[in-house]
Amino acid sequence: MRRRHLLGAGLAIAVTGMAGGAMAQGEIKIGEINSYSLLPAFTEPYRKGWQLALEEVNAAGGINGKKLVVISKDDGGKPADATTAANELVSSENVVMLTGTFLSNIGLAVSDFANQKKVFFLAAEPLTDAITWSKGNRYTFRLRPSNYMQAAMLVEEAAKLPAKRWATIAPNYEYGQSAVAVFKKLMSEKRPDIQWVDEQWPPQGKIDAGPVVQAVAAANPEAILNVTFGADLIKLVREGNTRGLFKNRAVVSFLTGEPEYLDPLKEETPEGWIVTGYPWYDIKTPDHDKFLKAYQAKFNDYPRLGSIVGYQTIKAAAAILAKANSTDPEKLIAAAQGLTMPSPFGEITFRKIDHQSTLGAYVGRTALKDGKGVMVNSVYRKGADYLPSDAEVEKMRPKQ
Amino acid sequence: MAFYFVQFLTGLASAASLFLVASGLSIIFGVTRIVNFAHGAFYMLGAYVAFTLTERFSGALGFWGGIVVAALVVAVIGVLVEMVLLRRIYHAPELFQLLATFGLTLMVQDIVVLIWGPDDLLGRRAPGFRGAVDFFGQKIPSYDLFLIALSPIVLGALWLLFQRTRWGVLVRAATQDRDMVAALGVNQKWLFTSVFALGVFLAALGGALQIPRDAVHHALDLRIIVEVFVVVVIGGLGSIIGAFVAAVLVSELNAFGILIFPKISIILVFLVMAVVLIVRPWGLFGRPEAAARRTPGLTVTPWRPLTANERLLSAGALVVAAMLPLVAGNYALTVGSEIAIFVIFAASLHFLMSVGGLASFGHAAYFGLGAYGVAFLAKAAGLPMIVSLLLGPLLGLLGAAVFGFFAVQLSGVYFAMLTLAFAQIVWSIAFQWVAVTGGDNGILGVWPEKWAASPANFYWLSLGIATAAVALLRVIVFSPFGYALRATRDSPLRSEAIGIDGKRVQWTAFVIAGTLAGFAGALFAYLKGSVFPDSLGISLSVDALVMVLLGGVETVSGAVIGAIVFKAASIWLVSQTDLSKLVMGGFIVLIVVAFPKGIVGTLEAIRNRRRSAAAKPVSLNSRVETAE
């Protein structure tokens, strides 16, 4: 008998949530995919961001009078599952556009799917340069400033440093590899006198920080480029602090100023690192104030960079749909190319040449304030100023 | 010179945390033969609970007390898990407990996020061990020195416990021969529970002690579990000293390896394990496993081909499946194709596991090789789809032939871990060799040609190949080769005596399984349109194991049902809820309890019981045991 009960419970679980959504008329549905279960620390603020944007869009009358609906799916951090989700959204939910994704390989998988099925895809967070350049396609647009752009912003500051001996620490996968490659290339162009004395490639999520810190220290660099983030960054910073790695050394670090990565460091936050990030507490523009107030009022929490990305993704999707006034993918592409719109960071444009948005990032220095990490002396760098020339872009992008 | 000494000490400190967790796993495996996949989850829980306690209670007492209490709390959770869940399934087929602990691991991953939130947590530094000690200009964190001192102390304490107490004698006896210990009247229940508690305590302590140097987050378990398994296997299962030596070996090789090859960390432990297992098949300090008394094939009614009625039923089910495109939409058909592909994949592993008695932990390697084979042929060589589909799996065949040759020299968990090592080596090649494989960003644009592009056609193609594969495997099972393979599984000695070349038979089986997995991977590449290294990854190998165990390892074709249930449930859950891991884990745990022989295995057992109760006296149907 007991076994039967358990079986019954299992079936009950299987049946719950069967209720799907029969959609009403007068709606425009867009699909959204992200790694909610694998990377909740980054995707939760992101989700809040797009929920806020969705509310605002619909409160302002939706898309030319039609209600905007977002159907959101988890990809579990796997490209193959993301393709399944994309397929469900397109074939079963009949969405008119795909948005989202965080990891680069998932962004690429969905962008290739979009290209094959001729669906409009607005990539939100993936940083890889490939998605708009070497593997770019006409159906894919990307919001966030790419690896190249972040590197170019950092190089501008790093080149001013007197340091000549540089070491790099980066996670051993595509993101880390291409971040280091672009940084090295741009840096060596500006400063031919620089020497690269050591590089460390810990596996993503599995850094054995002690030996890595020792190895870098042994090469005695004057400056360090860091690309690790998340839990790896925390371990690296702790070991580095204890072993004095960062003392009297300049450090340039990708993304570390984003609250997602800076806040967990708490009182361990190293001072004076040159970083890209999002100092929400320091941005005093009307556009951002409006966003910040609305976000804090709705969620009683402060925004992370993911919140901005999520918010602007849906705002951009709405702007594209409104301008196209159609759900035909070709019209959406035509509408999106060159479209300019407001954002919490100021006006941005989706470039016609490579479908990259000109959303920028803040560059500043880390500091410790009341036991918390903050960014100080931050300056907003417009994305448009940190992209290669059109001729170079055209060379990289495949002809279609 | 000072630098090398400090680097050596740093390696020792890394070894200390590995050793604590590995020793617990080794003890649990030695006595209960449970492959405790949840060991990483207990490690993670230890870290989370310790974080909460040390944040609440400040001061030295609060910190150190918090660490110990956290380990005790998690040990109590471990005891509950053992008593409520594992006790029910000790008599289930080998490795079935893996399924239960896998389900638990999935649940814990979601539960910690629900309780502690998604953000990375930064624990306190240890009072009294905040700074670093200066050694000829090199700094050594004092907490590292504490850890370095701690691990020999734990090793010594465990040694005393095992050598100088009655409980320790029982544990050692059970590690050597648990059936004999039971026959001598020792209460196995409590022995197992106490051993499990000790193992979990060590894992949780290992996790709790990491909070001054690590971040606490919900992926800690996966980060440690595989590495710990590797350490245990390198050292030799059940050997505490072995675990210690292996932990030091792996950590030191890493500490010095990165000075020469900075990219080596990603693969180092697996390389070491592969080398050690090829040279010493039972690890550094392990002993050959005693021949198992109960062999899987003999505890059930002997296999037989399908009866005429069952054939009709299967054909009917196939016809129904083939009619799906008449009613279902494009999405359902694509999901159907994916399920069919995983039926092939699971059936191929099932063949190796249940017919060959060889449980592979790295079967995804051949799936992924098939997928990459297709991607190379279609993208780089530009071959037509049908040719790529036929030739791509040859890469899987090749991989299986090479790795299988070494792997079949071993048996049991050592075999499983060597296959895992090979799979990880292949994975890291795909991951690192960016110029050829595209690395992490994969190979895009592997889409089917027009004739197969429509979801219905692709579904029929996948269903056709799946049917052919399952039918082929059944034919092999009941062929002379299949009998030889089963003979080797059930009694290596006797089969050798009658002239069966066991290793060659197993190797052939390995190649057959790998090739079929390659076909599954080849179809998968076309279904998804892209290939990424994670099609070679551990999680896919584990998924395949779960499908086989879910279906029932003692059946002829249980994996077919296992694959359908698991894949359909996971696709549906991921689509419906962000807590898919929690629900899926709970579902697996329920199935484990409700169907202790797997779904098909349990249903068959019920049917056989009914049939035999009607036909003949029960006593004739009792368990057959062999005497080796």
Task: Provide the 10 A C-beta neighbour count for residue B276.
Answer: 23
pLDDT grade for B615, boundaries at 50, 70 and 90: low
- What is residue B17's predicted lDDT score, i.e. its pLDDT? 86
In chain B, % of residues over pLDDT 90 = 58
Alpha-carbon distance of A136 to A123, in angstroms, equals 11
B18 close to B228: Cβ distance less than 8 angstroms? yes
Say which amino acid occupies B576: Q
The reply to whether residue A79 touches residue B528, judged by beta carbons under 8 angstroms, is yes
pLDDT grade for B529, boundaries at 50, 70 and 90: very high
Averaged confidence pLDDT in chain B: 89
B226 contacts in chain A (CB < 8 Å): none
Q: What is the dihedral of CA A248, A252, A253, A259, to 10 degrees?
A: 80
A41 contacts in chain B (CB < 8 Å): 118-120, 217
Q: Name the phi and psi angles at A122, rounded to 5.
A: -110, 100
Closest B-chain CA to A206:
B223
Q: Largest Cα–Cα distance in chain B?
A: 84
Of the candidate ranges A6-10, B30-34, B133-137, B392-396, the one whose mean pLDDT is the lowest = A6-10
Say which amino acid occupies B300: V
B470 close to B343: Cβ distance less than 8 angstroms? yes
The beta-strand segments (E) located in B138-213 are: 138-141
Two tokens, residue B611: 């049939």
Pick from A10, A83, A205: CB nearest B587: A10
- What is residue B181's predicted lDDT score, i.e. its pLDDT? 86
What is the rounded average pLDDT of the residues B507-534?
A: 95
B363 close to B531: Cβ distance less than 8 angstroms? no
How many C-alpha atoms does B335 have within 13 Å on its Cβ side?
Answer: 25
A354 close to A393: Cβ distance less than 8 angstroms? yes
Q: Does B150 touch chain A (CB under 8 A)?
A: no
State the nearest Cα–Cα gap between A94 and chain B, in angstroms. 11
What is the rounded average pLDDT of the residues B598-618?
A: 75
Say which amino acid occupies B101: T
Choose the mutation target among B575, B583, B595 for the interface with A, i.e. most A CBs under 10 Å: B575
Alpha-carbon distance of A362 to A378, in angstroms, equals 6
> Which residues contact residue B344 at a Cβ distance below 8 angstroms, ignoring those fewer than 6 apart?
B465, B466, B469, B470, B516, B517, B519, B520, B523
Say which amino acid occupies B487: A
B511 close to B405: Cβ distance less than 8 angstroms? no
Q: Can you tell me the ipTM of this complex?
A: 0.87
What is the rounded average pLDDT of the residues B148-163?
A: 94
The pTM is what? 0.89
- Residue A261 clears pLDDT 60, i.e. is over it: yes
What is the rounded average pLDDT of the residues A148-169?
A: 96
Of the candidate ranges A16-25, A111-120, A210-219, the one whose mean pLDDT is the lowest = A16-25
Q: Does A266 touch chain B (CB under 8 A)?
A: yes
pLDDT digits (tens, 9 = 90+) for B428-440: 999 888 888 988 8
Two tokens, residue B24: 């617990």
- What is residue B79's predicted lDDT score, i.e. its pLDDT? 96
What is the rounded average pLDDT of the residues B605-613?
A: 79
Pick from A38, A105, A218: CB nearest B442: A105
- What is residue A24's predicted lDDT score, i.e. its pLDDT? 45
Give the CA angle between residues B158, B265, B217 to the nearest 5°.
70
Say which amino acid occupies A258: E
B532 contacts in chain A (CB < 8 Å): 79-80, 105, 109
> Which residues contact residue B223 at a Cβ distance below 8 angstroms, ignoring those fewer than 6 apart?
A205, A206, B40
The reply to whether residue B265 touches residue A85, judged by beta carbons under 8 angstroms, is no
- Residue B619 clears pLDDT 70, i.e. is over it: no
More confident residue, B615 or B573: B573
Alpha-carbon distance of B119 to A234, in angstroms, equals 12
Two tokens, residue B277: 């297992």
Q: Which long-range contacts link B463-469 to residues 24+ away (Cβ below 8 Å)? A: B463/B318, B463/B321, B463/B322, B463/B336, B463/B337, B463/B340, B465/B340, B465/B344, B465/B519, B465/B523, B466/B340, B466/B341, B466/B343, B466/B344, B466/B347, B467/B318, B469/B343, B469/B344, B469/B347, B469/B348, B469/B516, B469/B519, B469/B520
How many C-alpha atoms does B121 have within 13 Å on its Cβ side?
Answer: 25
- Residue A381 clears pLDDT 60, i.e. is over it: yes
- Distance from CA of residue A369 to its chain's centroid? 26
Kindly report the length of chain B.
Answer: 628
Of the candidate ranges A171-185, A263-277, B545-559, the one whose mean pLDDT is the lowest = B545-559
- Residue B136 clears pLDDT 90, i.e. is over it: no
- What is residue B291's predicted lDDT score, i.e. its pLDDT? 54
More confident residue, B119 or A320: A320
Task: Provide the 10 A C-beta neighbour count for residue B411.
Answer: 21
> Which residues contact residue B212 at a Cβ distance below 8 angstroms, ignoring those fewer than 6 apart?
B123, B124, B125, B126, B129, B143
Q: Does B137 touch chain A (CB under 8 A)?
A: no
Alpha-carbon distance of B485 to B492, in angstroms, equals 10
More confident residue, B626 or B600: B600
What is the rounded average pLDDT of the residues A126-143?
A: 94
How many C-alpha atoms does B140 have within 13 Å on its Cβ side?
Answer: 23
Composition of chain B by helix, strand, coil, percent to 5: 75, 5, 20
More confident residue, B304 or A116: A116
A13 contacts in chain B (CB < 8 Å): 583, 586-587
The structure tokens 């002239």 sit at B499
- Residue B564 clears pLDDT 90, i.e. is over it: yes
- What is residue B483's predicted lDDT score, i.e. its pLDDT? 93
pLDDT digits (tens, 9 = 90+) for B212-263: 988 999 989 988 988 898 899 899 888 899 999 999 999 999 999 988 888 8
In chain B, % of residues over pLDDT 70 = 95
- What is residue A6's predicted lDDT score, i.e. its pLDDT? 39
More confident residue, B595 or B522: B522
Pick from A112, A130, A264: CB nearest B122: A264
Give the CA angle between residues B266, B268, B272 to the nearest 5°.
155
Kindly report the length of chain A.
Answer: 400
Nearest to A30 by CA among A317, A311, A356: A317
Q: Does A201 touch chain B (CB under 8 A)?
A: yes
More confident residue, B625 or B417: B417
What is the rounded average pLDDT of the residues B268-285?
A: 89
Alpha-carbon distance of B196 to B49, in angstroms, equals 19
A208 contacts in chain B (CB < 8 Å): 14, 251, 254-255, 265
Closest A-chain CA to B521:
A80
The reply to whether residue A84 touches residue B334, judged by beta carbons under 8 angstroms, is yes
Nearest to B120 by CA among A371, A237, A301, A264: A264
- What is residue B238's predicted lDDT score, i.e. its pLDDT? 81
Q: Does B217 touch chain A (CB under 8 A)?
A: yes
pLDDT digits (tens, 9 = 90+) for B541-561: 989 999 998 998 888 888 999
- What is residue A202's predicted lDDT score, i.e. its pLDDT? 93
B124 close to B55: Cβ distance less than 8 angstroms? yes
- What is residue A3's predicted lDDT score, i.e. its pLDDT? 38
A173 contacts in chain B (CB < 8 Å): 431, 439-440
- What is residue B555's predicted lDDT score, i.e. its pLDDT? 83
Of the candidate ranges A1-15, A75-89, B56-70, B315-329, the one whose mean pLDDT is the lowest = A1-15
Q: Does A200 touch chain B (CB under 8 A)?
A: yes
Alpha-carbon distance of A50 to B322, in angstroms, equals 41
More confident residue, A19 or A253: A253
Alpha-carbon distance of A180 to A173, in angstroms, equals 11
More confident residue, B299 or B304: B304
What is the rounded average pLDDT of the residues B149-175?
A: 92
pLDDT grade for B292, boundaries at 50, 70 and 90: low
- What is residue B275's predicted lDDT score, i.e. its pLDDT? 92
Alpha-carbon distance of B596 to B617, in angstroms, equals 24
Closest A-chain CA to B132:
A242
What single DSSP character describes residue B163?
Answer: H
